[in-house]
Structure 1
Amino acid sequence: MASIEKQDHDVEQDARISDDSTPSTPPVKEVEKPQAPAKEGTPKAYLALLGGFFGLFISFGWLNCIAIFQAEYEVNQLRTYSSSEISWITSTEFFLMLFFSPVSGYLFDNYGPRVPIFIGGLLQVFGLMMASLSSKYYQFLLSQSIVSGIGTSLIFNPSVTSPMTYFRKGRALAGGLTVAGSSVGGVVFPLMVNHLLPKIGFGWTMRTCAFLILGLWAITVCCISANMPRKNRNFDFQRFLQPFKELNFLILFVFAFFLYWAIVVPLNYLSVSAITRGMSISMALNLIPIMNAASFLGRTIPNVLADKYGRYNVTMAVLLFTAIIELALWLPGKSNAAIIVFAAFFGFGSGACIGLAPVLVMNLSPSPQEYGFRMGAALAVAGVASLTAPPIAGAIAAKSHGSYDNAFIFAAVSGFISLVFLIVLRGKVIGWKLKENTSKAGGH
C-alpha cells in the first residue's frame, strides 16, 4: 500500500511540474495488452466449428466418393484403361489434397483460414465444372485430380485446424465433430451421384455437386476463424523441414504414412472389389454411403473417449480394430451381408483414425503459431501414401487375377506397422504406463 501511495504522489508531482514548466516531457506510449484468447463455448468458437464442419464436407467429404468414380470410370468413360491406371486419377486427387497442405498451412499461419479457403473453393468448383466436360484420361487427370485436388487441399487443412484452436480440454471432440463433416459429405455425395447419374448423366451430375459445393463453401468462408496470433513471414523452407529433424515428429510421420496405406486401399477399391465378389453394381456403390455413415460415429464417439481415456490410447485401439477387420472380416466374408458389415465396421475404424490423427499433430506442436505448417507437413507425408497405395493395390490385384484379397492383406499389414510406430511414439511422449497422463501429452 505504501508503494502504491508513493507512486500516486510521484504522478501528481510530475503533473504539477509539467503544468508549471514550458518544456513538456514526451508522453509515455501505452503498452497494448494482448487480446485475451476466446474461451471454449463462445459463439465464435461454435461458428468456427460449423465452418470447419462444412469445409470438411466439401473437401474430404467429396473425396470420400473416390470409390464411386473408380467404379464409374472403369465401367463407362475410361473402360479401355486398367484398374491401376484409373486409380491414378483418384489417388492423385487424394494426394494433392494432402501433399499441398504445407502451402495452405503457410497461408493459414500468415493470413488466417479465410484466404486459403476462398482460393481453394474457386479452384475446386472450377475443376469439377471442367471434369463435367471431360471425356479423355488426361482431361480427368487435369481437372478432377490436379485443379480440384489443389482446391480441396486449400480448404481441408485450415478447416481441420481452425476449430481446434478454440478448444483445449475438448480438443479431441472438437476435432472429431469437425472431421465428421467429411463423413456427412461422404454420405450425401455418393447418394446424389448414384441417384443422378442414370437420370441426368455424368456431366450434369458433376455440375450439380459443384453447385452444392459452391453454396456450402460460401457458408464456410463466412463462419470460419482461428483463435491464434498471426504474423506475416516469408516462406522459410528450413522452418518447414524442422519437424523432419525432430525424432517425435519423424515417428509421427512414419505412423501417418502407414496409416494412410492401411486406409486408402479399402476406400478406393471397396465397391470394385465387392463387384468382383458378385455384388450388384447398385448395391456395391451404396457401400460408400454406408461406410461414411458409420465413419460419422467413428469420428465422434472415439474422440469423446479420447478426451477422457487418452488420445494415444484410443487411437491405438481403433487402429488395431481397423487392421484386424481387414483380415478377419474381409477375407472370409464373401456374402453380401458380410461385405456390408465390413463396410460399416471399416468406416467406423478408419473414421476414428482420421479424426484422431490431427489431434496428435497439434499436441506435439511446440506453439500455436506452428499448427498450420506442422499439420501441413504431416498431411504431405500422408499424401505420398495416398498417391502410392491405390496403384500398388491395383497392381497386386492384377497379379492376383482380379482378386483384391491380397491388396486388403497389404492394407492390414500397413495398419499393424503404423500401430507399432504409434506405440513407440506414445512411450516417448507420455511414458509406458497404461493410464495416459494428458498433462504430458502436450498441446497448446
Structure 2
Amino acid sequence: MTQRTTTQQPTHSTEISVSVEQDNTSIFTERRRTFSRAPESELDYQENNDLSETLSLDYPDGGVRAYLVVFGSFLGLTVDFGIVNSIGAIQAYLNLHQFKNVSTSVTSLIFSLFTFFTYASIILSGSMFDELGARIPMAIGIVLFFIGFFACGSCNSVGSFIVTFSIIGGTSIGMLAGPLTGVISHWFMKNRAKAFGLCTLGSSVGGIMFPLLLDRLYKKLGFENAMRIIASLSTVLLIVATTLITERESIKNSNSSNVVEDYDNDASEVISIAGKLRTFGKRASCLAKKSTEFKAMRDPKYFFCVIGASFGELGLTCCLTYFASYVTFIGYSETKANTVITILNTIGIAGRYIPNIFADKIGSYNVMIIMALLVGLSTLLIWLAWSSTSYSMASIYTFAVLYGFFSSSVFSLAPSCVGSISPTKDFGKRYGTMFLFASVVLLVGMTIGGIIIGDESIESYRHFSLYCGLISLVSFVMFVCSRYCQAGFKMLKKV
C-alpha cells in the first residue's frame, strides 16, 4: 500500500511530498521548492533549517547495511585518524635521529603544516561528499596517502618532509575524513552519537597499532622501510573501507540537484569532450562555492561550537605530537615513549564509546562540557604539577590513562555536536567549515607550541604543558557558551 500526501507551508512556499511504503521499511522523501523570499532574520534561517530537519528522511538507525557502513568507517578511521594519533611516534623518532641537531621550533613546521593541510582539506572533502558521494573523495585520498607516506620514508631534510608528509600526506588524511565521518549522518539520527563513537574507535585502534608496529619496524628495517610498509598496509585497509561505506541515494540526489540548479546542464555539452570539460569546470566552480557555509557562523551556538572544537583539537594534537618526546627527554627509552602513546590510545577506545552512549541519553553537549573540563584539569594537575616535577613513570602512566579517556571522548563527540545543530544535507559543509577554522588555529597553535619547547628543557616542557591545559579550558568555556545559546540555564535539559 502506498499513501501520498502533500502539505503546503504558506510562509516559506515549501512543498513536502511524503510517501510511505509497507515493506517493513518506511521511506520518507522530501522535495523542497526554492524559498519565495530570503529569510529576513537569523531566526527565520534557523526555522527553515529546523523545518528541513524535521521533515527529512526517516533514518534506519540500525540494521545490517547501516552497521556495515559503520564498520567501513571504522576501518578507514583506523588508518586516517590512527596516523594522526600516532604522530608522536613519528615525531619522537625524527627528533632523536634525522633532526637530533635541529631545534623543535624548526621541526614543528612539519607537524603544524601537516595538521593545517589535514584540517583544511576536510573542507573540500566534506563538500565533495555532500555533492558527489563517498567514492570520489576516498579515491583521491587513497592515492595521495600512498604517494605521501611511501615517499616520506626517503626524506632527510625538513623541506622534503614538508612536501611529502605535511602537504601530500596531510591533504590525504583530510580528503578521507569527510566521507568516513559524514556517511554516518546518512544512516543514523537517534543513535548518531553512539554510531560516531563506534566508527571513531578506529582512530584509537590505529593509535594502538601504528606506534607498536613502527617501534618494531624502526628497529628491524629502519625508518624508510617502516614508512613504506605502513603506506602499503594502510592502502589495503582504505580500499576495503571504500567498498563498505555508501551514502543514502535519496540524500545524495537531493544534494546533487542543488548543484545542478546552479548551472545549465545542457545535454549537448555533455556529449562532446569540450562540453564535458566545460561542464566539469562549472561543477568544480560550483563545488568550490559550496565547500563552506560561513553564514552558519552567524548562529551563536554553531559559532561557539566551532571555536570549542578547534581549541579542543589543538590541545589534543599538541599533546599527542610532543608527549612522546617529553618522555624521552626526561630519560626514558623510545620503546617506553611509544608504549605510553599506545596506552593513551588504548584507553581512548573506552573514551570514544562510553561517553557517546551517555550522549545519546543526556545530550552531546552535556557530556562534551564535562569531558573538556576534565581534559584541561588532567593536563594541569598531572602533567604540569606532578610529572614535570617527579619525572616518575607512575605519573606518566596515570596521565596517559586519564588523558587518553577524556581527550578521546572530546574528539569523538565533536561530529555529534555539529550534527545536532546542523541540517543533515549540510553536515559535510558545516563539518568542513569547522575544520577550516580549526586548520588555522592548529597551524598557529602548533607552531607556538614548538617555539615554546624550543631547544628542549624541563622548564620549556612545563610551559608547554601549561599551554596545553589552558587551551583545553578555553574549549570547555566555548562549549558552555554554545550550550547556553541552545538551552540557557536549564541544567537538566538534554542538549
Which of the five TM-score ranges fits, normalised by the shorter chain? 0.7 to 0.9
More deviation, 193-202/380-389: 380-389
1:115 matched to 2:136: yes
| Paired letter, 1:388 | V
> Structure 1-normalised TM-score?
0.88
> Structure 2-normalised TM-score?
0.79
Among 405, 412, 420, the residue aligned to 1:348? 405
Q: SS at the partner of 2:432? A: helix
The answer to whether the Cα contact below 8 Å between 1:69 and 1:90 also exists between their aligned partners in 2 is no
Which residue number in structure 1 is paired with residue 340 of structure 2? 287
Cα drift, residue 305 of structure 1: 1.0
Among 362, 367, 371, the residue aligned to 1:309? 362
Q: SS at the partner of 2:383? A: coil
The whole-number CA distance in structure 2 between the counterparts of 1:80 and 1:397 is: 14
The answer to whether the Cα contact below 8 Å between 2:104 and 2:455 also exists between their aligned partners in 1 is no
Which residue number in structure 2 is paired with residue 235 of structure 1? 287
Cα drift, residue 405 of structure 1: 1.1
Which residue number in structure 2 is paired with residue 412 of structure 1? 469
| Paired letter, 1:385 | V
Which residue number in structure 2 is paired with residue 76 of structure 1? 97
Cα drift, residue 119 of structure 1: 0.9
* Alpha-carbon distance change, 226 to 430 in structure 1, aligned in 2, over 3 angstroms: farther
The answer to whether the Cα contact below 8 Å between 1:400 and 1:406 also exists between their aligned partners in 2 is no
Aligned length: 407
The answer to whether the Cα contact below 8 Å between 2:88 and 2:323 also exists between their aligned partners in 1 is yes
Cα drift, residue 132 of structure 1: 1.6
The whole-number CA distance in structure 2 between the counterparts of 1:83 and 1:120 is: 29
Among 324, 329, 340, the residue aligned to 1:276? 329
Greater C-alpha radius of gyration: 1
Among 374, 383, 396, the residue aligned to 2:452? 396
Cα drift, residue 400 of structure 1: 7.6
Q: SS at the partner of 1:412? A: helix
1:95 matched to 2:152: no
Gaps of 5+ in 2: 1-16, 21-26, 29-57, 260-285
Which residue number in structure 2 is paired with residue 370 of structure 1? 426
Q: SS at the partner of 1:388? A: helix
TM alignment of 1:115-134, pairs within 5 A: 115-134=136-155
Which residue number in structure 2 is paired with residue 175 of structure 1? 196
Which residue number in structure 2 is paired with residue 10 of structure 1? none
Sequence identity of aligned pairs in percent?
A: 29
The whole-number CA distance in structure 1 between the counterparts of 2:244 and 2:120 is: 25
The whole-number CA distance in structure 1 between the counterparts of 2:86 and 2:316 is: 14
* Alpha-carbon distance change, 236 to 119 in structure 1, aligned in 2, over 3 angstroms: closer
| Paired letter, 1:97 | T
1:384 matched to 2:440: yes
More deviation, 204-213/81-90: 81-90
The answer to whether the Cα contact below 8 Å between 1:101 and 1:376 also exists between their aligned partners in 2 is yes
The answer to whether the Cα contact below 8 Å between 1:256 and 1:381 also exists between their aligned partners in 2 is no
Gaps of 5+ in 1: 1-30
The answer to whether the Cα contact below 8 Å between 2:133 and 2:252 also exists between their aligned partners in 1 is no
The whole-number CA distance in structure 1 between the counterparts of 2:455 and 2:421 is: 41
The whole-number CA distance in structure 1 between the counterparts of 2:457 and 2:64 is: 56
Q: SS at the partner of 2:92? A: helix
Cα drift, residue 173 of structure 1: 0.6
Among 375, 400, 404, the residue aligned to 1:322? 375
| Paired letter, 2:464 | A
The answer to whether the Cα contact below 8 Å between 2:104 and 2:453 also exists between their aligned partners in 1 is no
The answer to whether the Cα contact below 8 Å between 2:300 and 2:485 also exists between their aligned partners in 1 is no
| Paired letter, 1:323 | G
Cα drift, residue 335 of structure 1: 0.4
Could you list the per-position Cα deviations for residues 158-217 of structure 1 after superposition, in whole angstroms to 9, with x for gaps in the alignment?
111212321111111101111111100011011100011110111110111111111101
Which residue number in structure 2 is paired with residue 22 of structure 1? none
The answer to whether the Cα contact below 8 Å between 1:61 and 1:185 also exists between their aligned partners in 2 is yes
1:156 matched to 2:209: no
